[in-house]
Amino acid sequence: MASLKLGDTAPDFTQDSSIGPISFHEWLGDSWGILFSHPADYTPVCTTELGATAKLADEFKKRNVKVLALSVDPVASHHGWIKDINETQGTTVNFPILADADRKVSTLYDLIHPNASATATVRSVFVIDPHKKVRLTITYPASTGRNFDEILRVIDSLQLTEYHSVATPANWKDGEDVVIVPSLTDPDILKAKFPKGFKTVRPYLRLTPQPNK
């Protein structure tokens, strides 16, 4: 299938996992979600990534985000790998890992890239909103571990911009000034929406303190 684009509905599926069968849309409920894929179990970079994800459990919970990993190996292999992750990374894996041995989910999410590998999945991240829409996709090479600070930063931006008429500038971090969307021009609406005021750098570039802080 063609690659998923931003705004597409994330494909639903039912697949076995380290905690039993998961029906994806039902499992997500009204939460945000992260689905991230791994080429195989017992791979070194992915071992560190799953450990890092487990350590961020409180950060994901604070943002109403559920995390779901995927690897093409079967459940029995996942359980062994989870023990390794817990021991080597000093944490406890607290999210499910899909067992995608039949490549069903990998195919739905276009995770097999023949130029990279004919059988293993590429290492992609999907952020999915409560309406089951894809809001972010990132694909990393096998040699580069994912940056979870960046993934959290993007989720903060997505959640902020979902509920306020703002966008976030380059390198923005939670708590910093944001950009008012150019389509908002009515002075009364601007005053009501941004009671802290705003700075007009250019007519199209207006900065305001983060509205939900």
Give the active site residues.
Answer: 46
Task: Write the CA distances from 203 to 197, 200, 210, integer angstroms.
Answer: 15, 6, 19
In contact, 25 and 12? CB cutoff 8 Å: yes
Cα 22 to chain centroid distance, Å, stands at 18
Q: Which residue has the tokens 């983060």?
A: 210
Q: Which amino acid is at 154?
A: V
Alpha carbon 140 to chain centroid, angstroms: 13
* Helix (H), strand (E) at residue 163: helix 148-163
CA 135/CA 5 separation, integer angstroms: 9
